[in-house]
């Protein structure tokens, strides 16, 4: 069954590939991104050439998000799936990032997700059905030094996703977290770098480690054994096309770096917690008669 899907951050990387893959599978896709008349003009034109509808949407702006979601609802009459893909990377000595930089990172990776959810969920609740796919990271479960700020934002996405899944389950809305491993996308090329270089210099030889870690990743991405980022798009298509109520809470894609082990342990803890709270029923999505 064809579904109407909105994807954030669709100008490149996972977002663009997912938009093209979902459209190829027969779904109506609204690819959203910032500045479609300027910096993202070419990606927008390329997507339109593939009969994918493009909407301007900046996840850091309440007005832009609300307008973008309203535009999709006006054009399509409904929205079935929200894919929260927009994200910003970050790598370096944690102390050398300013508070403003951390605020900007969370504005995209965390607050941006809250904005799109607030804009889309009223439609899902009216329909009595819908699917939210949040793009997290294995770094939302395990911690890499020098990627702590990025990981912190993805840890936040873990908590947000769980809470929304419980709160929306009895309204017929599914919420799934996708946890990609390391893939060759533009995240590292566009990643946030520390502004306070003097602080980083105070770490001596340690300050060189983040750059070396990124170099090793780049070498892997250029090798014959490089992971294929298309894995993520394919995983999202499978999630979208699964029946409501049958989807896993989390889907690991690629090398989990131990995130899969922590997922299993956390699931057991959460099950006991929800039972202890007398809220075990919130762990399963209600299958309403309208979408059973």
Which residues are tagged catalytic? 150
| Residue found by looking up tokens 């100008």 in the block | 11
Cβ-Cβ contacts under 8 Å for 269 (sequence gap 6 or more): none
Record the tokens describing residue 60, joined without a space.
């850091």
Strand partners for 81: 5, 131
Give strand ranges (E) for 147-258.
Answer: 173-180, 250-253
DSSP calls for 46-87: HHHHTT-EEEE--TT-HHHHHHHHHHHHHHHS---EEEE---
CB 159 within 8 A of CB 110: no
Record the tokens describing residue 18, joined without a space.
């997912």
Residues 224 and 203: their CA atoms lie apart, in Å, by 35
Residues 81 and 206: their CA atoms lie apart, in Å, by 44
Cβ-Cβ contacts under 8 Å for 186 (sequence gap 6 or more): 12, 13
* Closest C-alpha among 71, 64, 22 to residue 47: 22
Residues 121 and 125: their CA atoms lie apart, in Å, by 6
Helix, strand, or coil (residue 253):
strand
Q: Helix (H) and strand (E) counts for the chain?
A: 10, 7
């Amino acid at each position: 069954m064809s579904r109407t899907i909105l994807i954030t951050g669709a100008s490149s990387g996972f977002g663009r590939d997912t938009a093209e893959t979902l459209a190829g599978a027969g779904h109506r896709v609204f690819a959203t991104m910032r500045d479609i008349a300027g910096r993202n003009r070419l990606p927008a034109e390329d997507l339109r050439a593939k009969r994918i509808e493009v909407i301007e949407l900046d996840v850091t702006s309440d007005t832009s998000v609300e307008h973008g979601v309203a535009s999709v609802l006006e054009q399509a009459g409904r929205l079935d799936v929200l894919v929260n893909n927009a994200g910003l990377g970050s790598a370096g000595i944690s102390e050398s990032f300013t508070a403003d930089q951390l605020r900007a990172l969370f504005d995209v990776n965390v607050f941006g997700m809250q904005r799109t959810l607030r804009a889309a969920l009223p439609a899902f609740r009216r329909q009595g059905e819908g699917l939210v796919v949040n793009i997290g990271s294995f770094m939302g479960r395990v911690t890499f030094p020098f990627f702590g700020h990025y990981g912190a934002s993805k840890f936040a996405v873990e908590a947000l996703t769980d809470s929304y899944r419980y709160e929306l389950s009895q309204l017929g809305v599914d919420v799934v977290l996708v946890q990609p491993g390391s893939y060759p996308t533009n995240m590292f090329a566009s990643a946030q770098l520390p502004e306070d270089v003097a602080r980083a210099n105070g770490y001596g030889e340690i300050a060189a480690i983040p750059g070396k870690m990124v170099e090793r990743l780049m070498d892997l991405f250029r090798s014959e054994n490089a992971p294929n980022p298309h894995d993520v798009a394919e995983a999202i298509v499978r999630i979208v096309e699964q029946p409501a109520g049958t989807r896993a809470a989390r889907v690991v894609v690629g090398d989990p770096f131990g995130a899969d082990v922590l997922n299993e342990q956390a699931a057991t803890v959460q099950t006991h917690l929800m039972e202890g709270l007398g809220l075990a029923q919130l762990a399963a999505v209600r299958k309403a008669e309208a979408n059973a």
